[in-house]
Structure 1
């Protein structure tokens, strides 16, 4: 058994139970085979001897045959259920792992290969669970049972079986090692084909614009042909293996049958014993022959399992810890003690992000109008909808009153030598509006990803009211070291020793109770995120707006769309809010998709707002509409906006330039794109540059 197979059995209790049940059923089946052969030999021997057929013997033989058929059906049903449970469990673990590693780490993978693994790949485990594991259990039980009965019936024939039986696994192993390499290569070609095909479909407009669609058609055809050739080579080896095993088994049975026939002719044994030996000897070789065929059918599934565990073992960058209010052993907490919860909850128990229910009094619909989104975003088997994101655990401070602080944070990506963020410190007051400006690639989007928990800092801390958001660790109020720099200064080395900014990053809300471990989801429940290119699912418009609050009523959805200036174009759609969108919001313009994302944020009504260039790539009219909705959304909320254009800058309390992974003050750089449309006059006291 390969290491990956042992790990499957070790980590999946349902698979171990299936293996145990298969062994028990195989043992029962072996006993029925022995009884059936004995009864059949008795019936034939009596018939040849002229004693006639006994009714009781025939009835018992029929009952045994019916029992074997029922046993075979039961084995198949249990195997199919075990395969379904295994695939569902692995899909849940993979999706949970991908959620835990975050979208930034996920972006390093080819999405097509991951999609192939979660669909066609996991389906390749069916032959392994349904065919190979039951056959392996039978191989461990049936030959021993048959040989034991043969030894009691005719020890010389049993001795021949014992000598020839090991030949089948030996020849099977020799061919199987070659097959395993070919099957692994075949799976790699299939994964590459799936990934490349998804990339081609996604980029088809670009390919057509540059006249490269015919070339990619040839490339996809060549990759498909390479996979076909690899599959045929694997099948050729599999057929050769089956031929070898069948030949060895046939010669082995002949070595048993010929001496038995000679002894029967010479009077050395009776007819019933000879028939029992001739009927039972092939049953001893049958599981081994079936195991050879099942092994080849399951080889692709084993290769898939290796890829699954490679994803489950893939570790994202580990978060580091700062020194202000931290501990030297903070990064190791929970590994030694075993009491710390993971910062990412297993959301497979939360219930679907969707579902329809009606208010028994008003009759209003709550949840999605259709089930498309809930089928694509979350599992639908865990009961009714509950708005878990709006009910954070009590250990998380309230973002409406707590300061959000970055304490000397450095973020590194595994494939880059230069940090994406370097020694960044920042303090954000409740209700403050901050605009981040700077050239592309400076680290602005990385800063938002850090606040969302998509990436972990290599060093430093991100806290809300003193609670560490990265490690979900409630930090006690230790004094700041004398060399700590005010959070909004760009150069910590220029900070005077006497300027410890306890008043700038207050720690009076720190919870010193170390037994309270808040969940990262509780922080995200207080954050509304509007990315530069929001993702819309292939579902209704109402479903997409409800993403942050799946239990919102139709009236709440409409009010959110109206606040985001999206109600007019939504109501003009063929079916209004029930209109089904295509993949990635196909059918809507960029500005309309942006306003749907703003409607999500309005509906979520979170105290913290993160916006990543919400007006980028928009025409003047769309930008003006999105800007008005964004300004309305920012009121009364702590807002951090990444801006490449000046339309939102007059509404910011502080404007901070990000350059080369650090914060540069006091004034924005000229990389901004002028706003194409006039903006309303700034509110009093707004728009001043941080100092």
Structure 2
């Protein structure tokens, strides 16, 4: 693991100016240190000489150096303040930049798991993981740059004052990074194991929360608690192990640098007694000697607080370097009256040797947009067969590992592969209602209209069709009732009604484009009671009557009975060779 990864400078613009600023402040700090050492030496030397000789000290002889000492102290305080201030700002900016890039890249990769641990590991990385990068930027990186700038400058100054002391510094200085490297290798491994443990814990908790309704339905909501506690204990043990190594290694480094400074001081003292070095240079060397080792000591002390951040940054770069699927560039044709052809579609289920769906072949005529020209197509199959995955393939979010999806617009025209189409021209022609709708923060009216100009009559008609009218009537502020991010404040069934109403109004604004001819529903009745199920059925009938094709992932018999076409979806286990090829 590199102390300063070049990828950090390439990925985060804030890191580049921060490194340049820190280097400039390091040069200023080196100059202030040298001036302070000479000011102390020239102010203290005459005072010691005058005291030993019994002669009075003329204040005019040391006043300029005392003024210089006060000025250097003020300058060092200003440099430290600037370093701390801009370090905090740069750390926040860098973390925000990397977090935004990780999230955007993960979204561009599609709904498939993003590397080891899947989406849960990426969520942990983008939240708590990247926050650990702060100590690295605030504490470790400035000291690293100061070591590269200040230490060589001070060694050269000491060489000009006393070559023996400079030789001692040159011999002992390499021992500090050597010991840092030895203990750093151990600490880096412990930090990576700790981050991996936290990611596993985050994945387990997210999976538990996602499946909590199912667990409660079967009375198993208490069982996974033992697993979560075990992962929490593992995280605690990993953290304490990292801290133990940090404390022990810090003690070793402190002892080594203290002994090195003591050797310089003893040598200077002995030669001062023998008259081999003047008093003023000796005092300057004694003042500068601890400062020569100080940046390295701080690097060693702060290195352990940086390893978590460096491990998280490495994970972030791993995600960012995953190649994106090639995006189509062709303009999607008008879908009204077209036909979707699924030709042997198969999608690999995560890292498992399973295709779900497998060999899916079907023809789905799309709505004409005219009353009576609609159609309801139900995707039927057991859990895990790939029905929801098929919906993602039709959306263009997933590319099949086998087969292809074609768009036939006319008998005499060649079909177009969905993978070759620009998603920006495909998605406006598709209405998507997921199983768990996510609503933007705002009012209920904002969630339904999504900023579109919708008349009051159209809004009321959509609300009555989807049953949202009764929900709004029971809310304290009606349509102006605020809901939180993701729909907080509404139940799952109420969110479903909001999403259905928004889908009904999709493309139906006055003067707007024609409604999308294709509607995709992912198990819309999964969390609804009988009344809510009837609302969904009425909404699907309304879409069909308006001339739109509704592709619905269906489990309940009521939706299957409503369908004009039923497509059976099945999975298939593939062998090792087949899995590698797919």
Shorter chain as denominator, the TM-score bin is 0.7 to 0.9
Determine if contact 1:631/1:648 at 8 Å carries over to the other structure: no
Whether 2:458 is the aligned partner of 1:458: answer no
Superposition map of 1:616-627 within 5 A? 616=526, 618-627=528-537
Superposition map of 1:317-336 within 5 A? none
Whether 2:348 is the aligned partner of 1:412: answer yes
Deviation of 1:261 (Å): 0.9
Match of 2:413 in 1: 506
Match of 2:371 in 1: none
Whether 2:455 is the aligned partner of 1:571: answer no
Match of 1:670 in 2: none
**What is the CA–CA distance in structure 2 between the aligned matches of 1:419 and 1:205, rounded to whole Å?**
24
Deviation of 1:559 (Å): 5.6
Deviation of 1:616 (Å): 4.6
Greater mean alpha carbon deviation, residues 214-223 or residues 71-80: 214-223
Deviation of 1:202 (Å): 5.1
Match of 2:512 in 1: none
Instruction: Give CA deviations for 1:359-381 in whole Å, capped at 9, x if unaligned.
Output: xxxxxxxxxxxxxxxxxxxxxxx
Deviation of 1:527 (Å): 1.3
Deviation of 1:37 (Å): 1.0
Deviation of 1:245 (Å): 0.9
**What is the CA–CA distance in structure 2 between the aligned matches of 1:582 and 1:182, rounded to whole Å?**
39
SS at match of 2:388: helix
Whether 2:162 is the aligned partner of 1:145: answer no
**What is the CA–CA distance in structure 2 between the aligned matches of 1:282 and 1:617, rounded to whole Å?**
68
Match of 2:59 in 1: 52
Superposition map of 1:31-110 within 5 A? 31-48=31-48, 49=50, 50-52=57-59, 54-105=62-113, 109=117
Deviation of 1:21 (Å): 2.5
Superposition map of 1:120-519 within 5 A? 120-201=128-209, 216-314=224-322, 342=327, 395-400=331-336, 403-407=339-343, 409-413=345-349, 414-418=351-355, 420-422=357-359, 424=361, 426=363, 428-431=365-368, 432-440=374-382, 441-464=384-407, 503=411, 506-507=413-414, 519=422
**What is the CA–CA distance in structure 1 between the aligned matches of 2:446 and 2:493, rounded to whole Å?**
19
Match of 1:667 in 2: none
Change (3 A) 1:73 1:42: same
Change (3 A) 1:591 1:215: closer
Whether 2:552 is the aligned partner of 1:641: answer yes
**What is the CA–CA distance in structure 2 between the aligned matches of 1:182 and 1:613, rounded to whole Å?**
44
Question: Which residues of structure 1 form unaligned runs of 5+?
Answer: 319-333, 335-341, 344-392, 467-501, 512-516, 663-691
Deviation of 1:140 (Å): 0.8
Match of 1:22 in 2: 22
Deviation of 1:285 (Å): 0.5
**What is the CA–CA distance in structure 2 between the aligned matches of 1:295 and 1:274, rounded to whole Å?**
33
Whether 2:499 is the aligned partner of 1:597: answer yes
**What is the CA–CA distance in structure 1 between the aligned matches of 2:568 and 2:560, rounded to whole Å?**
15
Determine if contact 1:168/1:288 at 8 Å carries over to the other structure: yes
SS at match of 1:506: coil
Greater mean alpha carbon deviation, residues 411-420 or residues 81-90: 411-420
Determine if contact 1:411/1:420 at 8 Å carries over to the other structure: yes
Greater mean alpha carbon deviation, residues 101-110 or residues 182-191: 101-110
Q: 1:612 aligns with which of 509, 522, 527?
A: 522
SS at match of 1:94: helix
Change (3 A) 1:554 1:108: farther
**What is the CA–CA distance in structure 2 between the aligned matches of 1:540 and 1:269, rounded to whole Å?**
80
Determine if contact 2:357/2:389 at 8 Å carries over to the other structure: yes
Determine if contact 2:172/2:260 at 8 Å carries over to the other structure: yes
Match of 2:431 in 1: 528
Instruction: Give CA deviations for 1:411-446 in whole Å, capped at 9, x if unaligned.
Output: 333423445242635353442424134332554433
**What is the CA–CA distance in structure 2 between the aligned matches of 1:225 and 1:648, rounded to whole Å?**
46
**What is the CA–CA distance in structure 2 between the aligned matches of 1:192 and 1:437, rounded to whole Å?**
33
Instruction: Give CA deviations for 1:483-528 in whole Å, capped at 9, x if unaligned.
Output: xxxxxxxxxxxxxxxxxxx61x7349x89xxxxx963133112211
Determine if contact 1:4/1:302 at 8 Å carries over to the other structure: no
Instruction: Give CA deviations for 1:177-236 in whole Å, capped at 9, x if unaligned.
Output: 111122222222223333334444555566666666665445444433332232222212
Deviation of 1:298 (Å): 0.4
Determine if contact 2:133/2:306 at 8 Å carries over to the other structure: yes
Change (3 A) 1:221 1:65: same
Question: Which residues of structure 2 form unaligned runs of 5+?
Answer: 51-56, 369-373, 508-514, 573-582
**What is the CA–CA distance in structure 2 between the aligned matches of 1:140 and 1:242, rounded to whole Å?**
20
Match of 1:330 in 2: none
Change (3 A) 1:4 1:411: farther
Determine if contact 1:18/1:79 at 8 Å carries over to the other structure: yes
Match of 1:5 in 2: 5
**What is the CA–CA distance in structure 1 between the aligned matches of 2:554 and 2:379, rounded to whole Å?**
5
Determine if contact 1:104/1:454 at 8 Å carries over to the other structure: no
The number of residue pairs the alignment matches comes to 545
Change (3 A) 1:275 1:96: same
Determine if contact 1:420/1:446 at 8 Å carries over to the other structure: yes
Q: Which has the higher helix share?
A: 2
